[in-house]
Structure 1
């Protein structure tokens, strides 16, 4: 097994673990305060980026698009996932997170007029089917807030899809590490006042504090470093394949540490969504149609 493959597995384990940490921390800290701490800790972890003069110049020159990416790729989707963790289990959320490539492709087609291939269209159809399977499985979950929690995850993945397309068009040439740090820093600024207004009134357990620390340092700060290392050394196509591993680790961690049940419909929905995502990002290619004659 190559070093890059090991790094990819570590990255998937870290990002899959983010759902576990959120599931532990959110009930005590609340979604907004917990996410503000997450991005704040990640900003500190990534702050050595500021030692690079080029990074400082890029932040000054591109602060507006970096702010927009900070909101749409961090502040908003992280808070939506935080809210959903109050009512959904970690494995379920991790699977829904894998719908991000569908929204990225759909937004590119509708908003930016990027044509979709046959494979991408089929992938979108499979993605919708996979979400439908998961929604049907969610009927076994108790609570009036479950539909709103699922909708919150969809808002998060749509926001990721927008951020991906926006970044490609407005942050061309900006170092990925600059984008990572600046987006986390701007997300921290955006969430600071709402977080102060929603601080928990009860004492927070050490378990919740440690989960938040792990979320910020491991699952956000260090995970971004690994992700951008992979992009630099083996390319984005290899790095994006982490999408297919995150739900697996999300279900594993949820089952091992939180005793969450993995249902047959969850596994089927996961398989359908990942098949669709593989078609969209080009990991699976459809046979070329032969012309008549």
Structure 2
């Protein structure tokens, strides 16, 4: 384990491989989240997903004998858990009942815009010209993917769902900043496990009051819970904390713009959602934006 961690720390290419891996998993997770709503309500699914993720991580913490976090970190882990796990996914899963999986992923990944602004304000990071240009192109790409129907011709419940998902994106951005300020020094598996535990408790409490849809248990639903709980939650959010510790906030969050591209592709193939010229054009703009924002340029003033 120590050699693996040292390799990640010293090899920046490894960090970008991790970025690619988690964005691919998160992209596919949108399909499983949407499909799971056929068998279970959004709040109950979030409870099972993050409950499974928390139990998985706590078992790893126990096996590795990492122990409990110091007492002074508990309140910070509660706040991160509520912001990143509870608020984000309660809003996202409810929004998914009205909004297509592909477009939902696009809306949530407006998060880099909010994260970049917060990083400049509270973390003292510089929004260099290259990063600003890359972020702008990426966000225009997101709007291109959304198309004009985000503004006109939509039922009220779809607009509500989209607004809730954007609020979830803002909550995730605040969580990223708060993590960097207060939790970054903890072991990443430990911080991921306990923030997810506290977030899961909040989701379960909300589910007891808000959920009314009956659960239809079958092998397909169990697969969705295990995939999103173990891989998309326990594994990916631990890796996400590692990435945020290795890259500056702006570069790390801009890289997640790959998620809606994968989400749209998987949704098109597996759910039959429409892949239009606007989607393809917007996806190309996102990739160009990521390259501009993250490649180191020779001129030191725009690195």
TM-score (norm 2): 0.79
Asked if 1:175 corresponds to 2:187, the answer is yes
**Mean CA deviation greater in 37-46 or 237-246:** 237-246
Change (3 A) 1:287 1:83: farther
After the TM superposition, which of the residue ranges 153-162 and 141-150 deviates more from structure 2? 141-150
Q: Specify the alignment match of 1:261 in structure 2.
A: 274
What does 1:64-143 align with in structure 2 at a 5 Å threshold? 64-110=75-121, 114-138=125-149, 143=155
Deviations 1:106-162, CA, capped at 9 Å, x for gaps: 122345665532234334543553344344343588533222222122111111111
1:30–1:198 Cα contact (<8 Å) kept:
no
Aligned length: 285
From 175, 181, 199, give the equivalent of 1:187: 199
Contact 2:85 2:200 survives alignment (8 Å): no
> Contact (CA 8 Å) 2:102, 2:264: kept in 1 or not?
yes
User: Does the 8 Å contact 2:23/2:262 carry over to 1?
Assistant: yes
Structure 2, unaligned runs of 5 or more: 1-12
Work out whether residues 19 and 90 of structure 1, in 8 Å CA contact, stay in contact via their aligned partners in 2.
yes
1:102 & 1:241 partners in 2: Cα distance?
8
The partner residue of 2:264 within 242, 247, 251 is 251
User: Take 2:163 and 2:144, find their aligned partners in 1: how far apart are those partners?
Assistant: 15
CA contact (8 A) 1:125 1:276 kept: yes
- Whether the aligned pair in 1 keeps the contact of 2:36 and 2:224 (CA below 8 Å) is yes
Task: Give the TM-score, by structure 1 length.
Answer: 0.81
State the alpha-carbon separation in 2 of the partners of residues 151 and 279 from structure 1: 29
Structure 1 residues 136 and 7, CA gap change in structure 2 (3 angstroms):
closer
Partner residue, 1:22? 33
RMSD: 3.3
- After TM superposition, give the deviation of residue 61 of structure 1 in Å: 3.1
Instruction: Note the alpha carbon deviations across 1:192-222, whole angstroms, 9 max, x for none.
Output: 2211223444342423343223211221123
* Corresponding residue for residue 12 of structure 1: 23
CA spacing shift, 1:192–1:45, aligned 2, 3 Å: same
Say which SS state the counterpart of residue 62 (structure 1) adopts: helix
Does the C-alpha gap of structure 1 residues 156 and 272 become closer, same or farther in structure 2, counting only changes over 3 Å? Answer: farther
Unmatched 5+ stretches in structure 1: none
1:150 alignment partner in structure 2: 162
Q: CA deviation at 1:181?
A: 0.5
Q: Is the 8 A contact 1:84 1:153 kept in 2?
A: yes
